Amino acid sequence: MARSGFIVSAIRRLFTGPPLYYVWMLVLTILAGIGIAAYTVQLEKGLIITGMTSYVSWGFYIGNFTFLVGVAAAAVLLIIPAYLYDFGPIRDIVIVGEALAVSALAMCMMFVTADLGRPDRIWHLLPGLGILNLPKSLLGWDIVVLNGYMFLNLFIPGYILWKAYNNQEVNMRFIWPFILLSIPWAVSIHTVTAFIYNGLAARPFWNASILAPRFLASAFCSGPALVIVLYQIVRHYTKFHVKDEALFKIAEMISIAMAVNLFLLLAEFYKELYSNTHHLSPLLYLYAGLHGKGVLIPWIWTALIFNIIAFLIFLIPSTRKNFVTLNIGCVLIIIGIWIEKGMGLIIPGFIPAPLGEVWEYVPTTLELLVAMGIWAIGLLILTTILKIIIPIETGEFTSAKNAETAGLGHHHVPA
Amino acid sequence: MKGIIASIKPVLLVAASAIIVACLAPGSIPAQVTLPEEPKSEDTTTRESGQEFPVPIAPLPKTITPCRACHGPEKDFPVNFTRREDLLIHRNIRLAHGGVRVWCLDCHHPENRNVLLPLSDGKPIEFSQSYLLCGKCHGTKYRDWRNGIHGKRSGSWSGEKQYYLCVTCHDPHQPKFKPLEQMPPPAKPWTPREIQVKH
Amino acid sequence: MPDPTRTRESVAESNESTTPDAARCRPDDVRPDRRTFLAGAVSFLGLLSVSSCSWQEFVQNHFKRMTEKEIQETVERLKAEYKQKYGKDFVVGTEAPIDGTLFGYALDIQRCIGCRRCVYACVDENNQTRNPQMQYIRVLRFKDGNMDLEESTIYYDPEEVPEAGYYYMPVQCQHCVNAPCTKVCPVQATWTEPDGIVVVDYNWCIGCRYCMAACPYMGRWFNFADPVIPAEQVNTNTHYLGNRPRMRNVVEKCTFCIQRVRQGQYPKCVEACPVGARKFGNLLDPDSEISRIIKTKRVFRLKEDLNTQPKFYYFFS
């Protein structure tokens, strides 16, 4: 009884809200529809509709996937500083972070599926039915850790919220191990994704020990920035409360992460420029062009400038504590990391090709539409989750209140 | 006792000096020196002359074979050992093989034009085994050819192979290869922009 | 040669018009509703359309896990498909590796003149798609004096070859002992056979292209569209793991002409080379050409520092 009441009232909640909410959801739905339509064209005609070639065989989809894995990881990793700095009940931080993680993970999985040549053969990945090439294949590991992470991020908040919904006490001794597990697991998803690229000796741009640390550093920039923006939106539209200090603390952490990221970039520059081997070529292509080709140059320099400005904004206390500059900083850093870790990481890995040719990649319109559709679906998932869990968190949405509003007069039966 | 030693003394002296001389005089007694082993070549001259390889028929032009028809007992042209450019009926042959080092009669048998000059065993080389003659000067290439390293080979990697005569590919009178027409370059991969490769 | 100014979509569309009009299982009248969110439902039909026509192909097992009977059934099904598509009777062999063989290849770059006859012989023999064009062998042209890959080109187009001041080095799949591609495949769709050939089960590949990112030699190629082979040029003598006609969105590569070498013949590129620059044989046989080359000539392999241990050697004679 409690469950059906939950579903009905959840759906009702999804369809009620301020006008802006309707516009937001409608726009997202339309964008998602366009993306799905574009994907059907891809299914019909094959990957030839993308800009990928045998030279640059991964592109926009995998770039977005890499960025979003970082977001998913960092969203949960915020638990650590939340616990250390003790700002707000940990549960609140966990919940919103995990909502972001779930939607980011869903987008990751959608991007990988969109990139597959034969999605009809996806069952080949299932161990037993198909073959999952463990322990050798890092993609195999990535599938395991991403799915495990998805389970953790659905189970933990699901459990906590279900208890809250039914006005019951959370059994911390039961759930705490899962929460603890999710922290190294969050590190692992991002490290495994970094290792996918890192282990390829054929691609010297990726085959550098600095890659996995850079992944973590940049994840700690983009994920928390999204969380800051998310918290402000949630705070504005619901009764959910987050202290300003919490947001400023997260921003401070971002500045440290960005400092590390910039330092690691400097280290990469030095190593390639000073030793001046052929391994310099991908970095040169990205920042200065190679053989007259350099379509990514304006993008990466924009990203670098955005990152530096954001770093300064988060570093200086007065700009960090000013919400206007803080939000500008967040937007800048999200865009900067999205470029740097998306296209700015994937494409130069393939240029120059193993036999020395330089062929560029630019995503086609259909590719962009599919990616946009996936982002829209991800945001739909995020909004849906938040629309349901925030009221549970604030105590507005409980089974008891459901029963009252429904006028059924049923007494709450403990689950 | 003393007397016996005294009488043996000169014998011992002579023996000792003989040994010393023998040790010092080179070559008198063969020294214990190990000569480097001669790499065992697979062929001996007797085997070479009779060596068979599955080669196609020699590409002799049909209009002027057999050579003995003109250079034979009936016509019996006198043999002219002077190097010259005008070869009369063989005017179409422009010799460009080794410059001054090689001339017609360095390969073709002066008395019997149906065969080529012999190897040191005296047996003239048939046109069907002309590789033996080429191998006289081009020994390394010949050894590589025998081992399957030089030149085209077709057939089976594990069994019967088709060898080719040297002259199947190399014109013996003008052995330098002419350039070939090459097949088209690959199509460039699709890119959204018309960016041309620098090279 | 395809017109480089054609767009990708036009290429894909022309593929549909030039491919032999065979009965495809997807219904022609299914057109996705592109206008609205309902397209989501129809995308599922689209998924079915890109998947196989038949239920058997969809559930087909990995080649190494199939029983003899299953392999035979698969071969029969494929032969029927190819007959329908190309109008010819195909041979789809499944010959096992020959005992005691480990194939090696050697290429004499003193002899290679860059004529590209090997490239096109390979395309014909291995049923590679003509549009979009695919070539397993890329002939690199270097300037005399270095082996700088970044300064090399495969697009040289003189009147005649060889050109003065340059030398040529063809590159194809190196069939590495320590192959990075087989390591990274998430579904084990590519592996090294006991006779040393690195193969792909085209019906198992999910098209993730991780192996292509891992290969240091551009040995692997992707069918972005449906392969186009003119019916009169198709080679009907095929092997399941080799040159049987492939489908879209899977990876393929040189297989040392597995359909030929497992029957004792040379690969087609060896046969096609007019100057005899290409040598092939059994590394385990001390009397084979390849063994003799390794013993007597100075051989090298590409990118030795990557420790891939290629079985493709280069030498100078």
Interface test with B, best of C118, C197, C275, C315 (most B CBs within 10 A): C275
Give the per-residue pLDDT at C16.
Answer: 39
Give the per-residue pLDDT at A247.
Answer: 86
pLDDT band (50, 70, 90) for residue B19: low
Residues in chain B whose Cβ is within 8 Å of chain A = 188-193, 195, 197-198
- With contact defined as beta carbons under 8 Å apart, do A19 and A237 qualify? no
Residues in chain B within 8 Å Cβ distance of C11: 190
Residue B39 pLDDT more than 50? no
Closest residue in C to B181 (Cα–Cα):
C160
Residues in chain A within 8 Å Cβ distance of C207: 47, 116-118, 121
Give the per-residue pLDDT at A213.
Answer: 94
Closest residue in C to A48 (Cα–Cα):
C224
B197:A364 CB<8 A = no
Tokens linked to C218: 């551009």
By residue count, chain A amounts to 415
Separate counts of helices (H) and strands (E) for chain B: 5, 3
> Across the A/B interface, how many CB contacts are shorter than 8 Å?
26
Residue B6 pLDDT more than 90? no
More confidently predicted of B6 and C172? C172
CA distances from A269 to A210, A274, A299 (A): 12, 8, 17
B180:C113 CB<8 A = yes
- Average pLDDT value over all residues in chain A: 90
Residues 6+ apart with CB under 8 A from B127: B58, B60, B114, B115, B116
Residue B48 pLDDT more than 60? no
* Contact map slice: C 279-298 vs B, CB within 8 A: 279-282, 288-289, 292-293, 296-297
Rounded to the nearest angstrom, the minimum Cα separation between C79 and chain A is 22
Mean pLDDT (10-residue bins), chain A, 415 residues: 75 89 96 97 93 95 97 84 63 77 96 95 94 95 95 89 86 87 91 96 96 93 92 87 84 93 96 96 96 94 97 95 95 97 96 95 94 98 92 81 62 45
pLDDT one-digit tens code per residue, A273-324 = 999 999 999 999 999 999 999 999 999 999 999 999 999 999 999 999 999 9
Residues in chain B within 8 Å Cβ distance of C160: 179-182
Phi/psi at C155 (nearest 5 deg)? Answer: -105, 20
Mean pLDDT (10-residue bins), chain C, 317 residues: 42 39 34 43 51 76 95 95 95 95 97 96 96 94 96 96 96 97 97 97 96 97 94 96 95 97 96 96 95 96 97 95
Residues in chain B within 8 Å Cβ distance of C6: 190
